[in-house]
Homo-oligomer: A and B are copies of this chain.
Amino acid sequence: MRTHIVYAHPSDTSLNASLRDETTRHLESLGHTVTVSDLYAMKWKATADYDDFGAAQSENFIAAAGEAYESGSQSDDITEEQRKLLAVDNLILQFPLWWFSMPAIMKGWVDRVFTNGFGYGTTRTWPRYGNGMLEGKRAMIAVTTGAGQPHLSDRGVNGSIEDLLFPINHGILFYAGMHVLPAFVVNGAVQLDEDGYAAAIEALRGRLDTLAETEPIAYRKQNGRDYDENVRLKPGLERPGSAGFGLHIA
């Protein structure tokens, strides 16, 4: 198995750095080939702009992105990340939850790498949500949170971690065709003591051991039978009591 880790944290002595190292070590001990994009270490360019598109001529930004992808004139760092994604079986996105989402540098990795023609298309027939360029690969978010678990639980003031990660899990990873595993979450990262750290490492290893067998989140495929011609969920298909993002889980 081949696994690519995209990692974003500014400190190399952080909990995140330890988790990244443990992930790499443990996967290698299981026989995986592991590659890591350490975005801070790479000084990854976070901002998507026309400089990414080389000789592309279109004035419209999305069109220019598509032109650059098609013609091969996009920036080399983007092409390299796309190549890494296409080469692996599994993708792990590891980051601290900042303002209930990814750090900007990782959002910029998505904005730039999942470009028009690779991550999405502009036609009505572009295959997405269960189909796409990364179809069949497995993806997992590994995230640390400052907040304690109750604050991110079903009724917690922050919203549930599942809902907060939905725009990434469903809107990016599943959109591009990946099977998305439930996130690996370490809560209360700021106050984590030695026992908490040991428990987190053990839980992480368990998740890595079962990466290939864990049941993905049962997001509904757009090209299945669940959505109408306006890609709205057909009446009556929702699980009892589900609403909001939960509608899109079968």
Interface residues of A (CB under 8 A from B): 9-11, 13-14, 40, 44, 46-50, 59-62, 98-105, 107-108, 110-111, 114, 122, 129, 146, 148, 150-151, 153, 155-160, 163-164, 166-167, 170-172, 190, 222, 227, 230-233, 241-248
Contacts and interface: CB of A to CB of B under 8 A. Distances in A.
Contact of A104 (B105, B150, B164, B243): B105
Contact of A99 (B50, B153, B172, B222): B172
Nearest to A222: B157
Given A61-B14, A248-B159, A99 B171 contact: yes
Given A101-B167, A104-B107, A159-B248, 14 more contacts: A10-B49, A47-B104, A48-B104, A100-B172, A101-B101, A101-B107, A103-B107, A103-B111, A153-B232, A156-B231, A156-B233, A159-B171, A159-B245, A163-B163
Contact of A157 (B103, B105, B129, B148): B129
* Copies of the polypeptide in the assembly: 2
15 contacts: A13-B59, A40-B47, A46-B46, A98-B111, A103-B107, A156-B233, A157-B222, A157-B231, A159-B167, A163-B166, A163-B245, A243-B244, A244-B244, A244-B245, A244-B246
Q: Which 8 A-B pairs have the closest CB atoms?
A: A244-B244, A104-B108, A150-B230, A243-B243, A46-B46, A100-B171, A100-B167, A104-B107
A108 B122 CA distance: 27
B114 A107 contact: no
A123 B48 CA distance: 35
Given A46-B108, A101-B101, A104-B46, A155 B232 contact: yes
A185 to B, nearest CB: 16
A244 B104 contact: no
Contact of A146 (B62, B150, B157, B164): B62
